[in-house]
Structure 1
Amino acid sequence: MQQHFDDVAYALGSAESEARMAEVHPLPIFSEEASAFLADLSARILTDAEAKAYPDVVTLGFWCRPAALRQMQQPYHTEGNRLGRGIVFHIAPSNVAVNFAYSCLAALLAGNASIVRLPSKDFPQVDVLCRIFAETLAEFPALFPYFLFIRYGHSQEINEHYSRICQTRVVWGGDAAIEAIRRAPLPPRTNEITFADRHSLAVIDAPAYLAAEDKERIARDFYNDTYLSDQNACTAPHFIIWFGTAEKVKAAQEVFWRTLHAFVKERYTLQGVQAVDKLTQLYRIGVHAAVQQIPMEDNLITRVRAAMLTEELASYRAGSGFFIEYRAQDIAEIRPLCGISCQTISYYGAVRETLLQTVLAMRPAGVDRIVPMGRTMDFALVWDGVDLIRSMSRLISAV
């Protein structure tokens, strides 16, 4: 681990602490050290004035508070003979600000040290979290060698260096990014976890929505699921499936989009390049699919009504408020969207059990999560169907 690269910038740690990582020992899963560190990190995030400006950072603070950790640990309470695998090399997605923190904290709970390649996009949330991590580690000096946050450009040599010294490699990103990283070989006993391009959808029970009294809260929840990440997160729904009679759906759509638009207009700025991207996708989908654009008062929300659902529709999704709508008479009509690239189905209304039973009956290649609207970005230790604790740790058996 002594090799030094001038192109590597250290956001947390240094070349010296990187060299020391070879000497760190794996920890037990949910170790006392890790739990104490996360509790302190949570308290600092939730009381930090700068962090409070970013809902995704605050959400991280709630995620790692002690009560949440105790609940996360329950499925593993009989697995005291699990230790971390060693060093985990994380390649964070370029377009989601806080994902890197969840990834490395999951690795710590699994007993590992982490080398994290931070997002290439300049997110203020990343700087805030790097500062708070550093402040917390000052109180836990024994854990300092377990964290290395770095930035570097597209470098096969650097990818190969960090891939060579890790025991687990975790890649978050698009299919092309995963393909590029995989050109860097791994040692024989190193495992790899990849989270590739995915799409998600939302199912809305129209009668239930019309009967709801808190439509502003529903708009906020949907905004957090979508606009907060510019729909770049795999969890963000691009497809809106309305369930109910034609009359109920039409009435619900009018209220839903009007309420959402008022919320978006106060909080969201659409950049010119985003508007062009949406227009381009609108033209593309208009050429290749039976769709109709629904007029809106401006470009903050782009609505496309599909006459039928097909697998190909997933290739025409866009971000920044681009939604493909469909009215379903039977929830099973979502089948074409539930292929291997489908990650999350969010819902509003009393449709959870119907959704679950429908998905189980279909046995699709995709669909890993069914969650209430407003909770699509809630991180869990089982993600995309992968148990991160068990995947990043090893079991010591004794007979």
Structure 2
Amino acid sequence: MKVELKMRKSADVLIRMQPSSNYSLLFPKTIDWDKFIAYRPDMPFSDEVIEFLNALSGTLMKDRMSRLYPDIITFAYFCRKANLLKIKVKYVCNGELRLGRGVLFHIAPSNVPINFGYSLVAGLLAGNVNIVRVSSKQFPQVNLIIKHLHELMDGGLYDEVLNRIALVRYDRTSDASAYFSSVANVRIIWGGDATIQTIRQNALPARSFDVCFADRYSIAAIRLEVIINASDAEMKKLAEAFYNDTYLFDQNACSAPHIIFWVNRNVNSADGKENSVAVAKTKFWTAVHEYVSAKYQLQAVMSVDKLTAFYRQAACMDIKAEKMPDNVVVRSELKNVPSNIDEFRCACGYFSEKTIASLDEIAPIVTVKYQTLGYYGFDRSELVDFVRKNRVLGLDRIVPIGETTAFAFTWDGYNLIDTFTRIPSVL
């Protein structure tokens, strides 16, 4: 059976449509949408939600299948009660009256399997009921989490929280987004610019709003002398951290670095400055290549894509190919960094590089398109000074290499708990 979607406006008032059946309901098994959207919002970080997430964490940790997916383990670890209580201290003010906004409609990205889970957790902890459209692509990580949600529902201990969750899947031909938008107090869109524009064609109620996490571009900065002085153990740890930031999601995550800036300040070497740069780069990329070669399966089509990306970049700017043992890691040295460098990206281990004297040289190219700066070898005070001095338009996240994909409730410049809640004023 298919229920057609009907929506009209009367005097600019949105008339809520009837739900469509051209989607797959992944969780729960059945749903009464009228009852679901009538849920009353909760206070942030309620005990019931924290206990439920802790239970979900425990079941995921015990499942042997979880060990096959590092992102599942990371997600489960994030959902532990001890971690959530630690986060609560940062995001909840004692005595403050705050409630969730109501119905959150999440559109998860297609390129990061576990993102839907973090978006859902943010919505739950903010006190909301959540409709989550997961990626139309099939990911085993998604199926694993859904399996455990059903098992917890069957257990009957967390129904009050589980009744705040609806997970759906549908493709671009479906009109289901129109219905879910019509009942949403907040619509959260994770995706590229085209996806956001498409979703925004579906009307929201007058008091509702969008929170958009658009396609972004990310970079990394590494202090040269720190690499030169690093031990073998430190280099292996750094290589693993860099792998997690880049290859773990095929460099498709918005937070994955695409340019590596080598900050060459106060390098003391008997071999001279230029040779020190070469030594540091060789040391870093050798460690990265060894780690990636042991962990990563490069698809043949991506080898062709990387070669094509290099030729395209070479046709548009002055670059030089850096030698590597194979194309598991592809590097291009930039003579200058063009303002549109974010248009010349490739996935699965394609990196541009530039040696600079200070972080300040990065500032001129940073636009609102820039999301994350991963760093190694810098003090926090240096990074704070860099932002304050240059008043950069972008770079909403500045984190150590190894943590660029680590989820936090402050993301892309938004405090998600604040954004997903409201403050009733009582005088």
TM-score by length of 2: 0.90
Within the candidate set 342, 354, 372, 1:344 is matched to 372
Q: Distance in 2 between matches of 1:200 and 1:194?
A: 17
Within the candidate set 239, 250, 254, 1:234 is matched to 254
Q: Distance in 2 between matches of 1:265 and 1:209?
A: 21
Q: Distance in 1 between matches of 2:274 and 2:139?
A: 43
Amino acid at match of 2:245: D
Instruction: Give the stretch that moved more between structures: 194-203 or 22-31.
Output: 22-31
Cα deviation for residue 144 of structure 1 reads 2.4
More helix by share: 1
What are the equivalent positions in structure 2 for 1:292-331 lying under 5 Å apart? Answer: 292-331=320-359
Within the candidate set 124, 142, 149, 1:126 is matched to 142
Within the candidate set 31, 35, 47, 2:62 is matched to 47
Amino acid at match of 2:191: G
Amino acid at match of 2:389: A
SS at match of 1:239: strand
Cα deviation for residue 19 of structure 1 reads 4.1
Q: Distance in 2 between matches of 1:362 and 1:209?
A: 26
Q: Distance in 2 between matches of 1:130 and 1:175?
A: 28
1:361 lines up with 2:389 in the alignment: yes
* Residue 286 of structure 2: aligned partner: 258
* Residue 287 of structure 1: aligned partner: 315
* Residue 73 of structure 1: aligned partner: 88
Amino acid at match of 1:257: W
1:179 lines up with 2:207 in the alignment: no
* Residue 168 of structure 1: aligned partner: 186
Q: Distance in 2 between matches of 1:274 and 1:254?
A: 24
Cα deviation for residue 147 of structure 1 reads 0.7
Cα deviation for residue 389 of structure 1 reads 0.7
The size of the alignment, in residue pairs, is: 399
Q: Distance in 2 between matches of 1:353 and 1:325?
A: 25
Within the candidate set 362, 378, 381, 2:406 is matched to 378
Q: Distance in 2 between matches of 1:288 and 1:112?
A: 48
* Residue 91 of structure 1: aligned partner: 107
Cα deviation for residue 15 of structure 1 reads 4.4
1:275 lines up with 2:324 in the alignment: no
Q: Distance in 1 between matches of 2:96 and 2:67?
A: 36
Amino acid at match of 1:179: Q
Runs of 4+ in 1 over 4 A off after TM superposition: none
Cα deviation for residue 211 of structure 1 reads 1.8
SS at match of 2:348: coil
Within the candidate set 220, 244, 258, 1:224 is matched to 244
Higher Rg: 2
Alignment identity in percent?
Answer: 37
* Residue 207 of structure 1: aligned partner: 225
TM-score by length of 1: 0.96
Q: Distance in 2 between matches of 1:250 and 1:59?
A: 35
Contact persistence 1:340–1:367 (CA under 8 A): yes
Question: Any gaps of 5 or more consecutive residues in structure 2?
Answer: 1-15, 265-272
Amino acid at match of 1:184: N
Q: How big is the alpha-carbon RMSD for the aligned residues of Structure 1 and Structure 2?
A: 1.6
Q: Distance in 2 between matches of 1:181 and 1:156?
A: 12
* Residue 145 of structure 1: aligned partner: 163
Question: Any gaps of 5 or more consecutive residues in structure 1?
Answer: none
